[in-house]
A and B are shown apart, each in its own frame.
Chain A
C-alpha cells in the first residue's frame, strides 16, 4: 500500500507542479487545492508508527479525548478511524495557516510536533476503533438530508460516507453532528481556508436547514470498521 501511495503522491505532486507552471504561464490563476509539497509531502512519505503515535497523541487528548472520540458539542471532532492522509493534510494545513485554527495551533505547531510525529499520530488515529452513537441532530429532516447527501456528497465522500483516503476526502460517517454543522457552515461561507473549491461550489446554495439536514443524516451513518494501522 505504501508503494502505490508513494507513486501516487509523486504523480500528483508532479501534476500539481505542472498545473502550477501552466497557470503561471497563463498569468497567475487559482491556487491548487491541497498542493502536496513541503512538510505535507514529507509527512505523507514517512512511515508512521502507531505506538509512537499513541505517545505523541497524549498531548492532543486533553481536547480530542482518550480514544480520539471528540466532543458531542462540536468543539472537537472525532478523529478515531479517520484516513491518515486526511489527518496529515489537516494538521499540516493548520500549521501552514491555510486552515485557521488558533485554538489548536499552539498544541500542534512546529515546536510541538515533527513531521514524523504527524505521520505517527495519523497512522495511530486511523487504526483506532470508531465509537458508535456520537452526537446526533434533531432527526426531523433526515429524508431531506438523505436526498442532498445522495445527490451532492456521495460522489466524493462515498455512499456510506467512508471518504477516499487517496484523494484526501475525509471519512464523515458517524462524525459529531455539531462538528459537521459547524464545518459545513464554514465551508459554505468561505471561512474554512483549505476547503475544496468543488465542495464550496456544491453547497453554496444550501440553506441553514439544508446543512442541518445533511449533517444529521451523515452523523447517523454507520462508520465502517477501522482501517488497518499499517
Chain B
C-alpha cells in the first residue's frame, strides 16, 4: 500500500475542507465570494467589442477600413486615455464621441486590455522608395528642419508604449490624416502640443514617406 499517496489525498481533503470553512466564514461576514473581477471585465470587453467596436475596428482590432485605425497591440493605457478624451471632447471626433459616451467608462480598462492583447497585422508597402525615405525620417528625423526622430517617443520598432501610440502596421491613410489634423490644429489632444509642432515641420512628401514606411511594419 502506498501510504504517501493516501496521506496526500487526506491532505487535499483536509485543505478543501478548510477552504469551504473559510468561504463559509467570509460569506457569514458579508463578503461575496465570486470569480475574480478581471475575468468578468475580459468577458464584458469581448461582448462590447463584438457589439460596438468590431464593425469599424475589426473583431481582432485589425481594422480593414483604411480610415479607421488598427487598435491591435496598442498599449492599454493609451487606449483608455483616448477613449476618455473622446468623451471629454479633448479629442474631437463626431464618430467616436457619441459611441464612447454610450459606454461605461468602467469598461475602458477591459477594452484597452482586450485590444492590447490582440496580434497586430502589417500592411503592404506599395512604394518602396518612399518607405526607405520614411524609415530614415522615422529613425533619424530631419536635422535641417528640426523634425525629431519619431523613434524617440514611438520606439524604434514603432510598437509604441503607454504614453505614445503604436504606429507599426497602421493604415497609411489614417496616419496621413492624423498628421494633417495635427498640422491644422484639428487634432490637439496630444501631450504638450508636441505632435502639432512636429507635423508643422513635416513636408507633404515626408508625411507620405513616413506613412508608407509605418504601414509595412
Contacts and interface: CB of A to CB of B under 8 A. Distances in A.
Contacts of A14: none
Contact of B197 (A63, A65, A73, A106): A106
B151 A111 contact: no
Contact of A107 (B151, B163, B194): B194
Interface string A59-86: 1111101100001010110000000000
A74 to B, nearest CB: 9
A171 B153 CA distance: 27
Contacts of B163: 58
Interface in B184-210: 191-194, 197
A63 B143 CA distance: 8
Interface string B140-178: 010110101111110000000001000000000000000
A18 interface: no
Nearest to A66: B152
Given A75-B143, A111-B192, A112-B192, A59 B197 contact: no
Given A58-B152, A59-B152, A62-B153, A103 B146 contact: yes
Interface string B109-152: 00000000000000000000000000000000101101011111
Contact of B193 (A58, A63, A76, A106): A106
A59 B143 contact: no
A63 B149 contact: yes
Interface in B83-108: none
A58 B153 contact: yes
Given A71-B143, A75-B143, A76-B143, A62 B148 contact: yes
A65 B163 CA distance: 18
Interface string A103-126: 100110001100000000000000
Given A106-B197, A112-B194, A59 B146 contact: no
A62 B192 contact: no
Contact of A111 (B143, B148, B153, B193): B193
A75 B191 CA distance: 25
B97 to A, nearest CB: 25
A71 B142 CA distance: 12
Contacts of A73: 143
Contact of B194 (A59, A65, A103): A59
Contacts of B151: 62
B149 A62 contact: yes
Nearest to B156: A66
A66 B155 CA distance: 10
Contact of B141 (A59, A63, A102): A63
A107 B148 contact: yes
Contacts of A66: 152
A49 B113 CA distance: 31
B200 to A, nearest CB: 9
Interface string A171-212: 000000000000000000000000000000000000000000
B153 A59 contact: yes
A219 B180 CA distance: 41
The winner among A62, A65, A73, A76 for most chain B CB atoms within 10 A is A62
Q: Give the 10 A-B residue pairs with the shortest CB-CB distance, closest first.
A: A62-B148, A62-B152, A103-B146, A75-B143, A112-B192, A61-B152, A106-B197, A62-B149, A63-B148, A73-B143
15 contacts: A58-B153, A58-B163, A59-B152, A59-B153, A59-B192, A62-B141, A62-B151, A62-B153, A63-B141, A63-B148, A75-B144, A76-B143, A102-B146, A106-B193, A111-B192
Interface of A: 58-63, 65-66, 71, 73, 75-76, 102-103, 106-107, 111-112
Given A59-B191, A75-B143, A106-B197, 17 more contacts: A58-B163, A59-B194, A62-B148, A62-B152, A62-B153, A63-B141, A63-B148, A65-B152, A66-B152, A71-B143, A102-B146, A106-B193, A106-B194, A107-B192, A107-B197, A111-B193, A112-B193
